[in-house]
Amino acid sequence: MNVLVCGGAGYIGSHAVRQLLDAGHRVAVVDNLCRGHAAAVDRRAAFFKLDLADTAELTDVLVRHHVDCVMQFAALTYVGESVADPLAYYYNNTAGTISLLRAMRTAGVQRLVFSSTCATYGEPESTPLVETMRQQPVSPYGWSKWCVERVLRDYAAADPQFAFVAPRYFNVAGAAVDGSLGEDHRPETHLIPVLLRAALGRENKVTVFGTDYPTPDGTCIRDYIHVEDLCEAHIAAMNALQPGDTRFYNLGIGHGYSVKQVIESVLRVTDRKIPIEYGPRRAGDPAMLFANADKARRELGWSARHTEIDDIVGTAWRWFKNHPDGYSE
């Protein structure tokens, strides 16, 4: 297939580009490089530095590359930043994807894989989360993705040939097993990379956000899914899409690890000292989030291969140890 990957210079997009190419697909990448890294884009892919707001240029790329399917990863992804600057989130994530859909309509491209998030559920009614649960986001980031899900349902209802799948990610972690691609966020706020940067001496300390949650050890529990497993699910979903499909899948490993368990894992894997301090809760963090990923298993024949936290952390450690300055080396 000819696939356009939007956000292909980012953490998840760059891993997806690599897997698509390895599976024999032809890939074009668009990315405005506001958060991504040109060096993360596989050289076998055609690269266009382009913003999703540029509908006309996007249409041109779609037509010239005879694109069959689009994977849309391009997004801003910090919950805290979205609270401080909601317009940036609605503009980039929601309006940007609408611009992409308009370009797809003009170019006659009928298949889309759209990165959604478990943040669209907000504070969950219960765990594990299933796809049919109430969606009530608690941040502009979550709403910006929820809005796109809404738009996609309405657009698909109006065009019976259009098909989309919206995987809802849990906590994406890890790095390419061969050590060649990884995570390089600026600033870095996610737990595993922050701990690994501290292990390298690049952070002075790591703060545990809250120790009084109603969980066995008092810290939050999250479902950490390996980035390569996540990308495999995208390709399986893309291959399964039929005209008229409107699919949603929770992508996670199906169980969670607490913040303390993740810290213990990082200490085991790195064998380094990490200064830890215990602080108050971070606003908007639900106590426990983990997926019921049965629907993806049933319908796509997919399940996560990396389910042990030491294994997931180990791949990320290899990346950070070999690329302490990320892609800027």
| Cβ-based nearer residue to ligand UDP, 103 or 198 | 198
Q: At 236, phi and psi to the nearest 5?
A: -60, -40
Which residue, 118, 115, 108, 106, is CA-closest to 148?
A: 115
Q: How many Å apart are CA 209 and CA 206, to the nearest integer? A: 9
CB of 28 to ligand UDP, least distance (A): 29
- On whether the CB atoms of residues 73 and 6 are closer than 8 A, the answer is yes
Q: How far is the CB of 272 from ligand UDP (least distance, A)?
A: 17
Residues that bind ligand UDP (CB under 6 A): 171, 189-191, 194, 206-209, 220, 222, 259, 282, 285
Rounded-to-integer distance, Cα 6 and Cα 4, Å: 6
Kindly state the smallest distance separating residue 7's Cβ from ligand UDP, in Å.
17
Nearest distance from C-beta of residue 254 to ligand UDP, angstroms: 16
The residues that bridge with 249 in the sheet, in sequence order, are 167
DSSP state of 291: B
Q: In whole angstroms, what is the distance from residue 138 CA to residue 119 CA?
A: 8
Residue of 78, 89, 121, 141 with catalytic role: 141
Q: Does 89 qualify as catalytic in the annotation?
A: no
* Nearest-CB residue for ligand UDP: 220
Name the residue among 163, 303, 290, 183 with its Cα closest to residue 232.
303
User: Do 29 and 47 meet the contact criterion of CB atoms below 8 Å apart?
Assistant: yes
Query: Closest CB to ligand UDP among 211 and 292?
Result: 211
Q: Which residue number, 57 or 85, has a Cβ lying nearer to ligand UDP?
A: 85
Residue among 61 and 194 whose Cβ is closer to ligand UDP = 194
Question: At closest approach, how far in Å is the CB of 227 from ligand UDP?
Answer: 13
The beta-carbon contacts of 135-140 under 8 Å, at least 24 apart in sequence, are 138/284, 139/79, 139/82, 139/83, 139/284, 140/82, 140/83, 140/86, 140/89, 140/90
Nearest to 273 by CA among 203, 213, 320: 203
Q: How far is CA 123 from the centre of its chain?
A: 19
Which CB sits closer to ligand UDP, 18 or 222?
222
Q: How far is the CB of 57 from ligand UDP (least distance, A)?
A: 32
DSSP states of 64-88: HTT-SEEEE------HHHHHH-HHH
Choose among 176, 300, 293: nearest CA to 238: 300
| Residues known to be catalytic | 141
